[in-house]
Amino acid sequence: MARVVVDVMLKPEILDPQGQAVQRALPRLGYQGISDVRQGKRFELEVEGPVDDAALTRIREMAETFLANTVIEDFAVKVES
């Protein structure tokens, strides 16, 4: 079984309140030098059968229509063995 990972992040220009809240908390906890934090989602898909072009195409379609809301989010698909 192969694992395909889909990372979903808010588009760079979209406000990320969660990331900002974390970023603002860091200096208070003594962690300096982090200029920005953005929070995203990671999906791990266990794929039955070979991860070929056809399978990846289907996964991209799934990510585009379902896992990500492309109005506000980008996604990236990568294969882990």
The binding site for another protein (CB under 8 A) comprises 10-11, 13-18, 20-22, 24-25, 28-29, 39, 69, 71-72
- Which tokens hold the place of 77? 């698909």
Least CB distance to another protein at residue 50 (A): 33
Least CB distance to another protein at residue 26 (A): 10
Nearest CB to another protein, comparing residues 25 and 76: 25
d(CA 54, CA 58): 6
37 phi/psi in degrees, rounded to 5: -130, 130
Nearest CB to another protein, comparing residues 3 and 11: 11
Which residue's entry shows tokens 């990846």? 56
Nearest CB to another protein, comparing residues 49 and 66: 66
Alpha helix stretches (DSSP H) within the chain = 17-28, 53-62
